[in-house]
Amino acid sequence: MEKTNTLPLEVGYQLVSEKGTERKTYHIEKMLGRGGFGITYLATAEEFVGNIPQTTRYTIKEFCTANVCLRQEDGSITVPDHEREEFESDKADFLREAKRLYEMHQEGIVPVNEVFEANGTAYYVMQYLGEMSLVKYVKENGGSLDEEEAKRIAIAVSNALDYIHKQKVTHLDVKPENIMMLKRRDGSTTPVLIDFGLACHYKKNGSSTSKHSATGITEGYSPLEQYAGIEKFSPEADIYALGATLYFMLTGKAPLKAADMTAQYLFKTLPDGLSDGTVEVLRKSMEKMAERRIKSIAEFQKIITQCDDVIEGGQVTVKRKVSNKQTKTSGNYMKYGMIGLAVVIVVLLIILLTQNGGDKNPPAKEPVTVDSITSTTSATDEGGNQQTSPVQADKNDTPQQTETSQQANQPQKNPETQTSAPITDQGSSQPASSSEEKNYLDLGYAVWRGPVKNGTPNGDGIMKFKSSHRIDSRDPAGNVAEAGDYIDGTYVNGHLDQGTWHKSSGGSEYLLIGQ
């Protein structure tokens, strides 16, 4: 038998729900959309508040397997005999998930009003949320959203996912088309997750309570493992889709399908200026392999809200704070101010020392030795700034160097670079001589040991990475270093000019980026 597309219910059709003596009539206004297992409609129903009639709008979803169900003139549907068994099994899954959704009461999840059977199939009635999907919302707001707005929406959706995951339910179809932007009376908008057609409920042992495994996919939003079918409770599948949805909001474009998505492509296509938390949550939520991906919504929220967001009452909300850039700038001003003050003090001490040295009858007082001014030890404070403190020489050993000075003049050895001291994960190294002293800069994702100009790496040195991060925003290849990798090269105004990329996994690669 040749399969035919199922026609939707006609506009004006009266769909009747009967429960015992209760009877309610819904008037079909139009079709809103259709998928592999159902058709959604805008419908209205007349209800009374006291003795005053009110017309209320609803969204109704009808279970109707595409290319299998046939619409009859009276609105009922039939299926071929050889498809009947599978149809009834799928309908039972539809009813089971609809009733479970009916029991959910959480902001951010579409409320279900009733579930019933009619016309040889099943229906459930939901709140009508309007027709502003996240896709349309992004398009009408310039084609992409700023970071703060995108994070606000992602966090709200994550709260909804956290709620269903705690009930051992996965949505398995999170995407911009399935997120409606509900407009509230105060003019604000809030995202609401819809379309639980692929949602699965799982037992305590992690196995699905329904017959089918989740094999429905949407390229760009479904993780790699979903193409083969998901049979175990897998919150990380929804987390992948949530990360992909965040990527769409920030770029205005759907990500590549999971098999083709790479960290290099991700970093290359993201807009400039994103916070570390946002970039990190995108990278970790869109890991190709499920075992390397973020495992829970709590972890997702912790990463995306690091530094500039807060969690209140169990719900994550975004609050505007001073940007990292502003904070770093203020820190740099303070650092440079302290350096300038130290220089002034040293100059004054040298002048005083010179004047005393030229006086044939200097006043009797404790002599100031050269070593007490020029011999210093280096330390790094909690903020990663280089601090210096005087090392007082022994009065009886003035001609000799202090132990610290002797150590500082020892040649540094590094079998990998043969030019610089090795950098530990904390960015510490043996002090260089005072004439060749290197500066230290903690960038968060990496530590830099080398000259610093205007708060950025500038000159020859070593950049060691503490977490996965794009090597340089100007790198046309979009190379991404992993934790433990380091670059031995030359930086100009914070950008890599050329150098050797030493990989923690083994091997090295010469990079020539230039300005």
Identify whether residues 385 and 487 lie together within a single domain.
yes
Identify whether residues 178 and 266 lie together within a single domain.
yes
Specify the number of domains making up the chain: 3
Identify whether residues 386 and 471 lie together within a single domain.
yes
Q: Is 165 helix (H, G, I), strand (E, B) or coil?
A: helix
Domain boundary among 127, 161, 196: 127
Residues 464-471 have a mean pLDDT of 92
Q: Residue 389 pLDDT more than 50?
A: no
Residue 8 domain flag: no
Predicted confidence at residue 161, as pLDDT, reads 97
Residues 77-88 have a mean pLDDT of 94
Predicted confidence at residue 35, as pLDDT, reads 81
Identify whether residues 163 and 92 lie together within a single domain.
no
Q: Does 315 or 117 have the greater pLDDT score? A: 117
Identify whether residues 304 and 378 lie together within a single domain.
no
Q: What is the pLDDT of residues 226-235, one digit of tens each?
A: 998 888 899 9
Predicted confidence at residue 321, as pLDDT, reads 37
Residue 3 domain flag: no
Residue 244 pLDDT class (50, 70, 90 cuts): very high
Containing H/E element for 148?
Answer: helix 147-165
C-beta atoms surrounding 67 within 10 Å:
12
Predicted confidence at residue 263, as pLDDT, reads 87
Predicted confidence at residue 345, as pLDDT, reads 76
Domain around 292: 134-321
Q: Which residues of 7-32 are buried (b: 16+ CB within 10 A; e: fewer)?
A: ebbeeebebebeeeeeebebbbbebb
Looking up residue 146, the CATH number of its domain turns out to be: 1.10.510.10
Identify whether residues 57 and 94 lie together within a single domain.
yes
Going through 340-385 in order, the beta strands assigned E by DSSP cover 376-380
Q: Identity (one letter) of the amino acid at 264?
A: Q
Q: Is residue 442 within 8 Å of 478, Cβ to Cβ?
A: no
Q: Within its chain, how far is the Cα of 19 from the centroid?
A: 46
Residue 209 pLDDT class (50, 70, 90 cuts): low
Rounded to 5 degrees, φ, ψ at 284 are -80, -30
Identify whether residues 201 and 264 lie together within a single domain.
yes
Scan for tokens 């009747």, then name that residue: 16
Predicted confidence at residue 120, as pLDDT, reads 95
Q: Residue 206 pLDDT more than 80?
A: no
Domain boundary among 97, 127, 157: 127
Identify whether residues 20 and 47 lie together within a single domain.
yes
Predicted confidence at residue 399, as pLDDT, reads 40
Looking up residue 48, the CATH number of its domain turns out to be: 3.30.200.20
Rg over CA atoms, the chain = 33
Scan for tokens 């979903």, then name that residue: 226
Identify whether residues 489 and 350 lie together within a single domain.
yes
Q: Which of 464, 450, 457, 446 is nearest to 493 (CA)?
A: 457
Q: What is the pLDDT of residues 470-507, one digit of tens each?
A: 999 888 888 999 998 999 888 999 999 888 898 988 88
Domain boundary among 293, 321, 349: 321
CA separation (Å) from 65 to 5, 84, 118, 135, 440? 9, 11, 15, 25, 63
Chain mean pLDDT for the chain: 79
Identify whether residues 346 and 295 lie together within a single domain.
no
Predicted confidence at residue 176, as pLDDT, reads 98
Residue 9 domain flag: no
Containing H/E element for 52?
Answer: strand 52-63
Residue 4 domain flag: no
